[in-house]
Amino acid sequence: MADQLHTDLAVLQPYFEAGKSSTQRAQLIPLLNWVHTTFPQLTPRVAWNQPMFTDHGTFIIGFSTAKDHLNIALEPPTLDHFRAAIEANGDHATKMLWQINFEKRVNHDLLAQTIQYNIDTKQATTTFWRA
């Protein structure tokens, strides 16, 4: 199942029909499955041409791929909170993205912390993005 989306994530399949490379698929599909298994309360969807997960209608995390790296989309407050840990992990953080080279393994512990941080800090959020 490592190369196939979990059946509960079928809504994300259109993202992969856009011709993602085998390297991109190999990195992203297991990661999306992991997010679904680890945080089953999150709702998957494709928006802004990327797979993402929401909680009570508010953005939690998004994913996309570039030629050489995986992008993890987080809002600036989350990236700012975890920037030092992301960079200490050898990854790159921009204003809106955590970037991981395809040859590196994803730090699932750190990823889980960023997702849980968003879930916890956005419990009262009623909009898609933070105000």
Q: What single string gives the DSSP state of each residue in 74-125? A: --HHHHHHHHHHHHHTT-EE-SSEEEEETTSPP-HHHHHHHHHHHHHHTTT-
Quick one: what percent of the chain has pLDDT higher than 70? 98
Cα–Cα distance, 27 to 105 (Å, whole number) = 9
Let me know: does 15 contact 49? Beta carbons within 8 Å. Answer: yes
Which of 21-30, 98-107, 115-124 is predicted least confidently? 21-30
Architecture per CATH, domain 7-121, reads as: Alpha-Beta Complex (3.90)
The pLDDT assigned to 16 comes to: 83
Torsions phi, psi of 70, nearest 5? -95, 135
pTM for the complete prediction? Answer: 0.94
**pLDDT tens per residue, range 81-95:** 999 999 999 999 999
Cα–Cα distance, 35 to 112 (Å, whole number) = 8
What residues are paired with 62 via a beta bridge? 52, 73
Non-local CB neighbours of 13 within 8 Å, separated by 6+ positions: 5
Non-local CB neighbours of 71 within 8 Å, separated by 6+ positions: 63, 64, 65, 97, 98, 99
The pLDDT assigned to 17 comes to: 79
**pLDDT tens per residue, range 38-59:** 999 999 999 998 999 999 999 9
